[in-house]
Each structure stands twice: as structure tokens, then as C-alpha cells.
Amino acid sequence: MGTGGLCVSAINSKAAGTVHRLDTAGAKNSALPTLIAAVLNGGRADLYGVPHVSDVENLLKLLERLGATASRQMRADGMLNLSITADRIDTTKLTNDLMKTTRGSVLVLGPLLARKRKCCIAKPGGCSIGKRPIDLHLAALASMGAKITELGEEIYADAPSGLHGADIDFPIKTVTGTENLMMAATLANGKTILKNAALEPEITDLGNFLNQMGARITGHGTDIITIEGVTNLSGTEYTIMTDRIEAGSYMIAAAVSGNIVDVMGGDFRSLLPGFIPKMEGAGVEFEDLDNGLRVKGPDRFRAVEIDTAPHPGFPTDLQPQMMAMLCLADGESIIRENIWENRFMHVAELNRMGANITIDGPVARIRPVKQLYGTTVTATDLRAAFALIVAAIAARGETIIKGVHHLDRGYSCVKEKLAACGLNIERIM
Ligand code: EPU
């Protein structure tokens, strides 16, 4: 991990008919809440298959600042096994430097309030993809009895008599909001019902982990989740679910490269129900394998229309990568970004590589071009960074991608994984 660049000069080391194999890592967006859930537990949590990405490292530092201990074991496959013990929590105050390193840090609010009955965090703030408010997390915690005070850049939350169960109806679906409230309600007094809960598979994974520690949660994976509060949790062992967004990113890279790649690690048709049909619509062929999909791109992609939406819709976290692929489709594709108000930062960079994309509010129109061309481009966020890799694979000539620290937040072993797909990439320090 670091702040250097990537050099992509396409690159196929394929022999005709070769089938490549890519194994996906554990999911970043499941690992982040699961690591923090260890704060609820006075025992030891052993977590297996955690992705080695900087967002995870930053959350581990945050847990250590709170007083937890975390031991890390690097595995031969590049993932981590972690042992987290949070029998002591020394502080309930988290300052700016830790809160700003990853948006996932907001997930500490529910567990700290539930276990220590108070906490103070710096406001996580916006990021390049949008304003990212947490008003729904705060309102829901207030309905469980927390007194919330916002003082400048700090948020104080207090529940001196502990949190109590509540009926919470989220006005819109929020992934980390649902996770924060599930964790808070685990140690609350009485029953909490979360309505219009988010449906992402990572929420199901968190619920399964919490239940394994002794929580009493039902309905996770549906839009009504019920949590019966318990007084304490115990240690457990847990394997993090596969990273469906990483899998989808490499399916796009494989399709653009023309190589045949087996993307392994899960039932991706059910984990990515909004994405796989759109890929098929664009001409990508999938063959079902035991625990994976064989991916083969077409000679020429077809245009498709995409609306990003909460699960089971098309995931916003695959929108930039898919847009890069569609630059070379026959006909005009349309993408409406309905989750984040500023997730088109990659468009200017793709256009610098020869794409023809225009933006009108939340709508991007991707018109066909014959060829993309390598140049120097800059990644502005995690998924935009992978979109530029996709474009670089398709491009003629060499592409230099700057700002790859964004990529390191959520993708591990990128050079090795692209090599496994038959593609070459160099890291320039
Ligand atoms: N929202 C509010 N108020 C809130 C919370 C959310 O208005 O209190 C709005 C947001 O502004 C957004 C919508 O609700 O328009 C959905 O946001 P959500 O809360 O679901 O997003 P998140 O929980 O902050 C997670 C992922 C993101 C992913 C989104 C949507 C994690 C750690 N992050 O964010 O992942 O884009 O859900 O699926 O799970 C990424 O991995 O690249 C990434 C950005």
C-alpha cells in the first residue's frame, strides 16, 4: 500500500483458450462492521478471511485506540486472520484524525453507545462521492433513548440508563445505518424492530456474526429486522463473506480483456442480482461453476441502461467500472446514479482517455467510441480507481494511474489478481 502510481500497458499474456482463475477476498464492507462489532463483546473474536486493505488497517488502529487488542496473521492467499479482544475499552472519545481516515468509522457509534452508554465522535464528514450525512443513524439512536448533542465538529451521544428497544422505520434504506442500529440494539433493553432495513448481503453477514456471539437477531436480509436485546455476548470464530464488489470488478476487467476468467468465491448470481443480468445485456457470457462464474466478454459490447439502486438493484459500487466498460459498446448507454450525488468524478478521466461521456445531473450518457487511448489519469475514489484500470486494459498504449491510495482502501493484491486474469500491471513507487 502507498501513494504511488500504477502503470497499465495492455497486456494480455493469454494463450488462446486458456482459462484463468481468480479467487476473491473477504468483503471489505462486511469486514468493517464485523471488526467493530467486536467492541460489543468482552471475549475474543477470531475473524478469518479479512481483506488486507487500508480501510481495515485504519479501523484496527481505531479499535486499538479504544483499548482493544488486535493480532494479525497474514495468510498465503494475501488475506488476514485477526484476533480481536475488547475486554477493556479505555476511552469513548474518537478524534478527527481517526474518524476521517475511513467512513466506516461511523459504525463505532452504535456499539460504543450500547456497551459504554456514551461516546463522542468527530463528524465523519463528506467525501468525494457525496455529502454522506448520518442524520438517520442519529435519529434512530435517539429513538432508543440516546441524547445526541452536536457541538461544532463533534457529536456527543449519551444513554446513562442504557439504550432501550424501539420501533424504527428508516425513511430511506441505509446500509451502515442499518448495521449501526443492529449493533446498538443487540445490547439494548428490550425488542427493537428495524423497518425498511437495507438488504445488502453484508448486513446478513453481520447479523450472522452477531448471532454467533449470542445476539438474538431475526429477519436480517429482509427489510424488517427484529433484535431482542441481550445482556452480554461471548467470543466466537467467523469467516467473512466473499467480496461481491471485488468479484464484479474483476468480471468487468475480464470481459474487457477478452480473456476467459473463472471468478471464484461465491454464488454471484444471487449476490449480484442487479449486476449479472446487465452484464449479460451488454453481451458478456457467464457459465455457472461450483462456487463461481466463468466470464467471457464479447467482441463488441452492447449498450445498456442502468439505474443504481439499493440491493437487489444495480450496486452503485460497480457503476464506475461498468461505465468504463460501456465506453466501447455499440450504441449509447445511459447510467442514472441514484445513491451518491457526486459519483461521476471518473467521467472527466475517462474522457481524457478518449471516451465520449456527458453528464446531466444524475444521468450519464456514454456514446460509443472506437478506441480508448492510454494517458496519465488520476483516481478520485476507490471504485473510480478500478474503473480507470478497466479503461486502461481496453486502451491502446500505456496508462499511468495516479492516486492509487484510493484503490488500496478496498482492493488487495491488485497486481497479483490481474496477473491471475492474464493481465500485466506495474506499480510505480
Ligand atoms: N443517507 C442519508 N442519511 C443517513 C445515511 C444515509 O441521507 O443518515 C443517504 C446517503 O446520502 C445515500 C443513501 O442514504 O444517498 C444511502 O447511503 P448508505 O447509508 O446506504 O451508504 P453507507 O452506508 O454510507 C455503504 C457502503 C458504500 C456503498 C453504500 C451504498 C460501507 C462501509 N459503505 O455506505 O460503499 O456505496 O453503502 O451501497 O458499507 C464503497 O465500498 O466504495 C462504498 C462507498
Band the pLDDT of 125: cuts 50, 70, 90: low
User: What is the residue-wise DSSP string for 133-144?
Assistant: --HHHHHHHHHT
Expressed in angstroms and rounded, the spacing between residue 350 Cα and the centre of ligand 1 is 24
- For CA atoms 38, 43, 49, 55, give the dihedral sign: positive
Q: What is the mean pLDDT of the segment spanning 306-318?
A: 98
For each of the domains in the chain, give its residue range(s) and CATH number, in order of start: 5-24+243-428 (3.65.10.10), 28-239 (3.65.10.10)
Interval 221-279: pLDDT, tens: 999 999 999 999 999 999 999 999 999 999 999 999 999 999 999 999 999 999 999 99
Q: What percent of the chain has pLDDT over 70?
A: 97
According to the model, what pLDDT value does residue 2 have? 47
Distance 175 CA to ligand 1 centre (A): 6
**What's the mean pLDDT in 403-407?**
93
- Ligand 1 centroid, distance to 309 Cα (angstroms): 11
C-alpha–C-alpha distance, residues 380 and 315, integer Å: 19
Interacting residues of 424 by C-beta distance below 8 A, sequence separation 6+: 8, 9, 11, 13, 418
Measured from the Cβ of residue 262, the count of other Cβ atoms closer than 10 Å reads: 19
Q: Does residue 1 surpass a pLDDT of 60?
A: no
Between the CA of 108 and the centroid of ligand 1 the distance, in Å, is 15
Which residue minimizes the CA distance to atom 14 of ligand 1? 174
Q: Which residues are catalytic?
A: 127
Q: In what order do the strands lie in the sheet with 260-264?
A: 19-23, 260-264, 292-296, 285-289
Site to substitute for ligand 1 among 35, 137, 176, most atoms within 8 A of C-beta: 176
Q: What confidence category does residue 14 fall into, taking pLDDT thresholds of 50, 70 and 90?
A: low
Q: Which residue ranges have their beta carbon within 6 Å of ligand 1? A: 29, 32, 103-104, 130, 132-137, 172, 174-177, 198, 316-317, 339, 382-383, 410
Q: What is the pLDDT of residues 67-92, one digit of tens each?
A: 999 999 999 999 999 999 999 999 99
What residues are paired with 47 via a beta bridge?
Answer: 82, 238
Q: Which residues neighbour 70 within 8 Å (Cβ) at sequence distance 6 or greater?
A: 60, 63, 64, 82, 83, 84, 85
The pTM for the full model equals 0.97
Confidence check: pLDDT of 309 > 50: yes
Pairing of strands 154-158, 118-122: antiparallel
What confidence tens digit (pLDDT) does each residue in 324-333 have? 999 999 999 9
Nearest CA to ligand 1 atom 29: 175
Q: What is the tens place of the pLDDT at every residue in 144-177?
A: 999 999 998 899 999 999 999 999 999 999 999 9
Phi, psi of 280 (to 5 degrees): -65, -40
Nearest CA to ligand 1 atom 12: 339
pLDDT at 159: 96
What 3-state DSSP class applies to 58? helix
Cα distance from N-terminal residue to C-terminal residue, the chain = 10
pLDDT value for 9 = 63
